[in-house]
Every structure is written in structure tokens, then in C-alpha cells.
Structure 1
Amino acid sequence: MSNAVPDTERAWTVGTAPGIFPSIGHPIALLRRPLDFLNSLPARGDLVEIRLGPLRAWMACHPEVAHQVLMDTRTFDKGGPLYNRLRPLMGNGLVTCRQDAHRRQRRLLQPDFRPSRVADHADMMRREAEVACREWRAGGEVDVSAVTLALTTRVMNHVLFSDSLGGAAAAEVGERLAVIVRGLFVRTAVPVDAPFRVPTPANRRYRHAVDRVHTIVDEVVARRRRGGPDGDRDDVLGTLLSAAREGSSGVTEQEVHDQLVTLLLTGAESTALCLASALDLLARHPEAERRLHAEVDAVTADQPRPGPDELPYTRSVVAETLRHRPPGWLFTRITTQETTLAGQRLPRGTTVLYSPYLLHHDPASFPDPERFLPERWLPGATADPRGAMLPFAAGSRKCLGDTFAVAETTLALATIAGRWRLRHLPGYAERLRPAATLGPRSLVMTSEPRVHAPEGTAPPARSLALRATTAARAQDPRTAGDNGVDDA
């Protein structure tokens, strides 16, 4: 029998998604209009059956059902189409490993991403954001998608490799990463391998991009190894090499490689998309932009280099961006034994999906979900009574870098907003096409230098800082759904 968390007494509803094509299932709907398809599912039930080709899968459409999946990691382990496609790319790293290997891996890497360690990187994050917008010109066009990915790749280069990746290699990683994420979603929605073995130009580009990322990481590791123990630095690569030399930790050379590839790809891509989405959404919502500018101007007048907790409204913008457009928008799990979910008996090996995008856009959890309202997350607001906010998952497999990502995005957004206002090009229309992650991938905007508000028109810096103290953990998307086990 399963040791899953028992269902509550409520009467769950179980349904089937409409529009099944014979022998194909729902991949056409997922590929053509994935977000609309997801948003249609809660009306069908709390747990909804979908078909991925011949594969029968179940989508968790209620927050409690999603939490049961996320909190019982031994019954609902990492697996299914998404992770089957990610493992050839990331190997057996922290994101893709099975539950029996996860605790050891997380304990090893956790110290590099604790809040105190994140605070040590704050100046570096601000500095890289300053570099990102240093060459902008009034009225000039800015490739926001490229700029944000280059920024987050440089940040991860510092954290993982102490900048030893090199500028050219870091730029190439960003380019290859864009190819990889475009190809991953198609490989997830189409659960058969045959189409991807054909040497089409797209398949060749994907394989070449994967090979190059692996090669670049191997070259960095080899250079560090040649330096011996005395060449170790205070970075993630140093942590991994030290553990591998000890022998008793169980870290192999392959795991060193897999962890670095995993953290490089997930750390750069997801944060870049969140930052680009925030800049895009602020340009569409002038009142939210005005409030953010007022906070940044007031706080930096008193504290030139504020931390993320001193910027409560900016953090709320990041939180609402994560709700509105979670970069990680669709995930799969696989049952390791027979179990019951929302009253539905599931045999061993069943694929279960959950979607932060679906949960974040359900009006039962977030009224008027299509509106961008950072005020949902300010101190005193009760934005998420049902626990539906899951941008970083929950439980023992909650994202290791959640605090890091929120801090990086908050500081980068404040740094850019203190200097520039970004505007959409004439005729621009939003075209969100999810890949392995969700966010704008070809966003070009024009830059306008900021004219700071006259003294007295912005909220007092001291009151903002005081509010930040009380807001540090309140309505924080980093802790939404957390199980309180910091090093699980």
C-alpha cells in the first residue's frame, strides 16, 4: 500500500480533458495552444485525465491534489515524459535524480545556496545588472531576452566556476541554451523517440547544442583539476571536487559534471525569463511601474546598495511575475507504487502532471488571475489562502535555488529600473509560446533614461525599509508550500 498523505474528506471530482484525437491524444492541443488547454482543465475536475499519445496521464488541477503529489516524493517520484527527456541533457543531477539519491545530493549542494551565502553574492548580482545596461542609449533598441540571459549566465558562471567559464564560453552557453529549451518541450509533448532520431536540421541543432554545453563544462572542470586541491575556489565546482576527492561522499566524476550542467542550465534560463517577463509586464502596467520606480528612488537615496528585503514592492513585482508567468510551467511525476489520488486509484508507473501556470491562473485561488497585481503580495495581503502559489514546487524537492533566484531577479530589476524605463516597440503583440520553460524569448524594447521623481513625491525610504523588515517572509513565493525542512 502507498504511504501517501491521505485525501481529505472533501468529495473530489475526476474528469477527462476534451478533444482527444484517436491514437494521438492531446499533444496537438498542448503544442498549438498549451496555456489555453491548461486553463480549461479545472472545469473538468480536481484530477483530469489527459492522453499523450497512447500514454494515459493525470493532471492535478486543485492545489491540495498538487501538494499531495509534491509532499509524497517517494510515491510520486521524478519521472514521466519531461524527466525522460531531461536526463540525457542533465544526467543524474539534483533536478532529475530519483528520490533515493536526492537527499545526499541536496545536502552536498545546500550550503552554497543558503540565505547567508546568497547575501554574499548581492554585490556581484548588482554589478552584473549594471554591466547589462551600461551600453544602452536613449531611444535605442534592447534585445531584452538576450540581455537577461547573458546577465544570468554571467551570474551562474561566478557562482559555479568563479568566472573561469570565460566570456566567449558563457556567451556560447547562452546561445546553445536557447536552442535546447526550444527543443525540449516538443520532445516532452511527443512521447515517442522516432521523430527525434531523424537527422532534420532542428534535431541536428538540438544535439549539437547539448554536446557543446557538455563539452564546455568538461573543459572548465579539466582546467580546475589540473590545478589540484590548491586550485580549489569558494564556488560550487570547488565543493563538488572536494567531495569527489574525499571518496566517502559517493560523488563521482560523472556527478560533478551532471550537477554543474543542471545548475548552469536551470539557474540561467529560468531567472532570465522571470526578469524579462517582469520588464515586459511593467511596461504594460504603468501604475505598477510608477510604484516600483518610486520605491527604488526612495530606498537608494538612503541606501545606495539595498538588499532584496529592503525593496518590498520590487519583490512583490517579482512574486506576481512568478505567479503570472512561472518559468517552470509544467512538470511530471511517476508513481512508484499503487496509490490513490483525489479518490482515483492509480497503478504503479502512472504519469501525474502538475502545472504552476494552471494553479496560478485558477480564479478560485487568485481572483481576476489575468490581471498583473503586485499588491497581492504586499504585507498584510492574503494572496494565496489555498496554497496554490508553487513557482518553485514544494516539499523536500523544492527548488534549491529559490532564494537565490528571487534575490537575483529583485536586485537586477531594481538596478535596471533605477536607470532606465523600457517601452515596447510600436505594433508589438504578446506571443507567449511555452517551450521547456515559459517567458518571452525574442523580446525587443526601446530604452528611455529615467528622470527621477522630484523630492517628496516618493514614499519615505525609512518607512519602506521598516515595511521590508516585516515583509521578509510574509507572502514570500520562496516559502510558499515549503515543508520547513531546510536541508531535506
Structure 2
Amino acid sequence: MTACGAAQAGTAPAGAVRFGRAPGAWPLLGHLPHLYARPLAFLGGLAAHGDLVEVRIGGRRAYILCRPDLARQMLADERTFDRVGPVFERIRAAMGNGLATCVHADHVRQRPMLQPAFRQERVRAYAPLMCQEIAGALEGWTDGQVVDVVDEMFSLTTAVAVRTLFSRGLDAESAAALGESLDVFLRGSYTRALFPYVEKLPLPANRRYARALRHWESEVSRIVAERRRAGTHDGTHDGTHDGTHDGTHDGDDLLSALLAARDEQGGALTEQELHDQVAVLVLAGAETTSAVLTWSLHLLAADPEVRAALDAEVDEVLAGRVASFEDLPRLEHTARVVRETLRLLPPAWVLPRTAVRDTELGGRRIPAGSMVVYSPYVVHRRADLHADPDRFLPDRWRRGADGGTGMPRSSFLAFGSGPTRCVGEGFGLTEATLALASVAGRWDLVPVAGRVRTAPRSVLAPRALPMRLLKRPSP
């Protein structure tokens, strides 16, 4: 496949910012029914109405940013566009005040403390733990078996998130229960963000949601407490002892890095801060990477040419074994598949902020208290930025002799931008590339159902993706 004749698009759309209003608002509800019933179709049509488009969330106005320069302007000004307001209050009540959910004042302290835990050398240390969980998941598959790839990838990435956080991992029963709690939370959080009054109703879904949160909170508290006790019993501080379990060091895990983190004044994370960071890291690490892997396998099944190129690469590099960190430089096509999936179907598809003071974007006045939302899903599909924007073309990411690609870097926002850019970007890309290469090296996954429907949840993922496992012959 060629580099898809990648257009030499500019780094931002040309011309003045276009303003518009989304059509189809319902009385009282505004555009909520569209955002719940068919969110991708609704968002995908917004750019036709402008670069900055006003929508109605119930009785409130909100502004959707459909240009990358506007999104980057918003994300660069964390003081003006902050994580405040009812939506984030509910998110923090459920997930805690972690790096991905906290307000600007807390983010300024937390970011430098957590950044060292995600440096390249740390990610390299986490990779063997990732590989062990990937190998374990693949060993449980059988030829001809039909699996729901959504469930399989979520189980895998939850296991990886827990293992890299805690090194020793969890027993199978605890890991399954934790994954179920996360799934219930994610399905419920999107509904609550759109329809906050729903949580007050005596519905079975609300009781499940409450039970899931209680279980999640108690499990995180138990795991952290066990690590602290283990550190004390070993005669070491904060669990960073020299013992090993299954060939790995506790000091190589994320929890050790969090326990060792210090702010500029030498202060450590408080017990509540530690609990919140663990909660957010497991949630973000499990769900976003799971979605990337699920969508990648879905897209590959529909494109034999791209899949053939992937097969050729993993056969040459891996020869049937599980991928390792040292293989990453040679898994170039696999990495391109991951990035193209992130472009087409970004897990973090809508990210809201609230203007805390009167301001302007692109010449438009934004009153204090307004919700402002940027959507990578919208920006990544602009035809003036990407050739054939709705097609799955991993080779658009192929590097030329100058080291560049046909992709305008400023328009790729899957990991955000500015001071709140995802701290786990390198971790997520490493895990997704290792897992996808390992799966593709051993298995063909064939769809057994028709249309794939997207679940209305806080992370963009399919409702279900049943596929048949076919063992690939040894290379």
C-alpha cells in the first residue's frame, strides 16, 4: 500500500473561524437525545455547520470545537478552561481527584509528581509485566472459539493495568470482579454526564452503579494497604523492597513510583491522593487501551491488505512469540495501525472544560460558566486536514526519508495537548503495540456478526464485537 497519496494539508484550516449552531434541538432537552442515541453521527456532522458550533445540553449552551487550533488554544489555557462544573464534580465523586480529573490548582502539584513514573525508562521496566499478562491471555484462547473482543481486550488491559500498578497482580476472581465494576461505572458515567437527574431515580442500573463504586473503592484501598504492610514487613519503606515475585521487582511497578513521588516541598501523596491516582490510572489505562485494541482488530478484519502487511511484519519479527519491548523499533506497521485507529476512533472522543471567566475563542465571546468541548473524533476527520479522512489508511503515518509523515502533527489530538496532555501516552502506545502484534502473530479474528454498534459511554468503544478465533500456522 502506498502512503495513500497523503495530502500536504496545512497544520490548521485556512480562513477565519466559522461560527454555527447545530440544528435539531428538542424542546427542553436540546441536543441530548442525539448525543445519547447516535453520538458519532451527530458529532460527525457538526463541522459542516462551523468551526465553533453551539449546541444545547438541556437548557445550557455548550460550544463544540471543530478546529485543532481552537482545541489547542483551549487546552493551553488551563486557568481559563478548567475541569469544574457539575459534570466533573460527578466524575470526581466516582473516580477521585486524580491527574485526569482534577482542577488546575491540583494539577499543577500532581503533574510533576507523577511525570517520572511514565518516563521511557520506567515504561521499559513495566513492559515485561505487560508481556506476561498478554501471554497469559493468549494461552486461554482455543481454535474455533467465538469471543466478545470487547470483553477479552478489557480483561487483558485491566490485568495489565493492575499488574503494572501493583506488580504482584490479583487473583483471577478479584481481577474479574474489578473489571466488572469498571465496566458498570463506565456505562453509567456517560449517562449521568448527559442526564444528571437519572442518578436520583430508584432504578436497578443506579443500584448496580452504586455497588460497583463501593466494590471499586474497597478493592483499591485493600490493595494499597496490602502493599504498605508488605513494605513494613520486609523492613523497607513504602514497599520498594528488593524481593521478587514471578521474576519481577515490586520496585518496577507504578505504585512504587507513586509512593516515592515528592512535590517541590518534599511532600508525598496523601493517602486520599494515592487512592485517587491509583483509581484514575487503572480506569484510564484499562479502558482506553482496551478500546484501541478492540477497534484495531475490527478495522483489520475489514481490510485484508492492511492485515496482510501486519501478518508479514509480525511473522518476521516475532515468529509466533509474544512481543517484547526490544521488538518495538521493528514493529513499525503495527505502530501505524495503532495510530491510525487512534485517529479514526479515539477513545477519548469528547473532553469537556468549563470557562471560569469571560473569554474568547477564535473571535467569539465565551461567557463564564459555558461548557466548551473538544472532540478528537471531529478534528481527526476533517477533509481539509486528512486525505480520505474516513478511510482506515495506516500508511498515512509512514515516515519518509526526512523522518516526517503526511500527517499534520498539530491536528492529531488523541492524547490531548498542552499542560494536560495524557501523561501515559508512551505507556499506552507501548502496551497497545505489544498486545496487537502478539495477538496478530498467533490468531486471525473473523467477525461473526453484522453491524457494530457504539456504546454510549465515557470512552468510545463498541457495545460488543463477537469474533471467531482461528489459529494461524507457525511462520
Shared topology, TM-score over 0.5? yes
User: Residue in 1 aligned with 2:220?
Assistant: 217
Secondary structure of the residue aligned to 1:15 is strand
Q: Alpha-carbon deviations, 1:424-446, whole Å to 9, x = none?
A: 11x43211233111122422211
User: Residue in 2 aligned with 1:364?
Assistant: 384
For residues 279 and 54 of structure 1, do their structure 2 counterparts lie closer, same or farther at Cα, with a shift above 3 Å needed? same
Q: Alpha-carbon deviations, 1:9-50, whole Å to 9, x = none?
A: 942111111011122111011111111110111111110111
1:59 corresponds to which letter in structure 2?
I
Work out which of the residue numbers 425, 435, 459 in structure 2 matches 1:437: 459
TM superposition shift of 1:243: 4.8
TM superposition shift of 1:352: 0.3
Instruction: Give the TM-score taking structure 1 as reference length.
Output: 0.86
Secondary structure of the residue aligned to 1:393 is coil
Q: Distance in 1 between matches of 2:185 and 2:217?
A: 12
Q: Distance in 2 between matches of 1:132 and 1:302?
A: 15
Q: Alpha-carbon deviations, 1:368-393, whole Å to 9, x = none?
A: 22211111111126443272211110
For residues 286 and 270 of structure 1, do their structure 2 counterparts lie closer, same or farther at Cα, with a shift above 3 Å needed? same
Residues 1:278 and 2:296 aligned together:
yes
4+ long deviations beyond 6 Å: 244-247
Work out which of the residue numbers 385, 388, 393 in structure 1 matches 2:416: 393
Alignment check: 8 A CA contact 1:334 1:352 kept? yes
Alignment check: 8 A CA contact 1:109 1:236 kept? no
Q: Distance in 2 between matches of 1:125 and 1:225?
A: 23
Work out which of the residue numbers 89, 92, 95 in structure 1 matches 2:94: 89
Gaps of at least 5 residues in structure 1 are: 1-6, 454-488
Work out which of the residue numbers 257, 271, 292 in structure 2 matches 1:253: 271
User: Residue in 2 aligned with 1:404?
Assistant: 427
Q: Alpha-carbon deviations, 1:63-115, whole Å to 9, x = none?
A: 11111111121211123454233111122110111112213211111111111
* Bigger Cα displacement from structure 2, 170-179 vs 76-85: 76-85
Written as runs of structure 1 = structure 2, the 5 A alignment for 1:21-170 is: 21-80=26-85, 82-170=87-175
Q: Distance in 2 between matches of 1:184 and 1:217?
A: 19
Alignment check: 8 A CA contact 1:365 1:386 kept? no
User: Residue in 2 aligned with 1:470?
Assistant: none
For residues 353 and 246 of structure 1, do their structure 2 counterparts lie closer, same or farther at Cα, with a shift above 3 Å needed? closer
Alignment check: 8 A CA contact 1:164 1:220 kept? no
Q: Distance in 1 between matches of 2:214 and 2:369?
A: 31
For residues 243 and 319 of structure 1, do their structure 2 counterparts lie closer, same or farther at Cα, with a shift above 3 Å needed? closer
TM superposition shift of 1:8: 11
Alignment check: 8 A CA contact 1:244 1:253 kept? no
Secondary structure of the residue aligned to 1:418 is helix
User: Residue in 2 aligned with 1:384?
Assistant: 407
Q: Distance in 2 between matches of 1:75 and 1:61?
A: 19
Written as runs of structure 1 = structure 2, the 5 A alignment for 1:419-434 is: 419-425=442-448, 427-434=449-456
Q: Distance in 1 between matches of 2:13 and 2:317?
A: 46
Q: Distance in 2 between matches of 1:438 and 1:212?
A: 24
Alignment check: 8 A CA contact 1:145 1:276 kept? yes
Alignment check: 8 A CA contact 1:432 1:439 kept? yes
User: Residue in 2 aligned with 1:172?
Assistant: 177
Q: Distance in 1 between matches of 2:36 and 2:115?
A: 36
2:421 corresponds to which letter in structure 1?
K
Q: Distance in 2 between matches of 1:301 and 1:144?
A: 23
TM superposition shift of 1:121: 2.2
User: Residue in 2 aligned with 1:448?
Assistant: 470
1:194 corresponds to which letter in structure 2?
Y
Q: Alpha-carbon deviations, 1:266-307, whole Å to 9, x = none?
A: 111111111111111111111110000101111235997443
Secondary structure of the residue aligned to 2:291 is helix
Q: Distance in 2 between matches of 1:450 and 1:154?
A: 25
1:210 corresponds to which letter in structure 2?
L
Work out which of the residue numbers 297, 318, 332 in structure 1 matches 2:338: 318
Q: Distance in 2 between matches of 1:246 and 1:72?
A: 23
1:298 corresponds to which letter in structure 2?
E
* Bigger Cα displacement from structure 2, 171-180 vs 79-88: 79-88
